[in-house]
Chain A
Amino acid sequence: EVQLVESGGGLVQPGGSLRLSCAASGLTFSNYWMSWVRQAPGKGLEWVANIKKDGSERNYVDSVKGRFTISRDNAKNSLYLQMNSLRVEDTAVYYCATERPSGCDYWGQGTLVTVSS
């Protein structure tokens, strides 16, 4: 059974940093592009970033460029999102997901990030 388990969320002040992790099991992690998708409270889904199977390509939504960094460790079957200079508008549930060319097939349960003073 495929499992993606996010961790690292919590309450942080504006301007602060957090590092999210996503632990994968039940799949060959290195065969998958991986994505982070977020959902602000009561709002829709927003794609945040993705990373190629070997980590050689990374893409970001404009609103997080220069502040967030996606990375992965295939030896540890893990995906990460380093979030710096956090803003109130970054408050959301963050999901990791496996990405195929035409859809994201496996999703974690999400981890809540709250940016507030």
Chain B
Amino acid sequence: IQLTQSPSSLSASVGDRVTITCRASQGIRSYLAWYQQKPGKAPKLLIYAASTLQSGVPSRFSGSESGTDFTLTISSLQPEDFGTYYCQQLNSYPQTFGQGTKVEIK
């Protein structure tokens, strides 16, 4: 199953609403996760089951789904939200990741 993320990169200002999309090549039910990765660090789980916020993750992060389209939204971008964001499908093998979206702060 291919996951296509868009955009591949974005630059936004503090306080902006940011939306990242992940499109699956076939149905994956809700077996989708979102991660944030900062340079030189391990990925951090933000959202699991497409829309459930991981414990300890700020509520400005949210996830949604519509068919095979999944969206990660940051309601008000903060300086610490820079990094690369990945989606992952765990519905079928091999599990796959999207190619990543690099978020920069203007």
Q: Which residues of A contact B (CB under 8 A)?
A: 35, 37, 44-47, 50, 59-62, 95, 99-105, 107-110
Contact = CB atoms under 8 A, between A and B. Distances in A.
A44 to B, nearest CB: 5
A102 B90 contact: yes
Interface string B76-89: 00000000001010
A99 B93 contact: no
A91 to B, nearest CB: 17
Contacts of A107: 42-44
Contact of A109 (B42, B45, B48, B97): B42
The SS class assigned to the A binding surface is strand
A62 B96 CA distance: 12
Given A102-B32, A102-B49, A110-B42, A44 B86 contact: yes
B66 interface: no
Interface in B27-65: 30-33, 35, 37, 41-45, 47-50, 52, 54
Contact of A59 (B42, B45, B54, B94): B94
A50 B96 CA distance: 12
Contacts of B97: 44-47
B48 A100 contact: yes
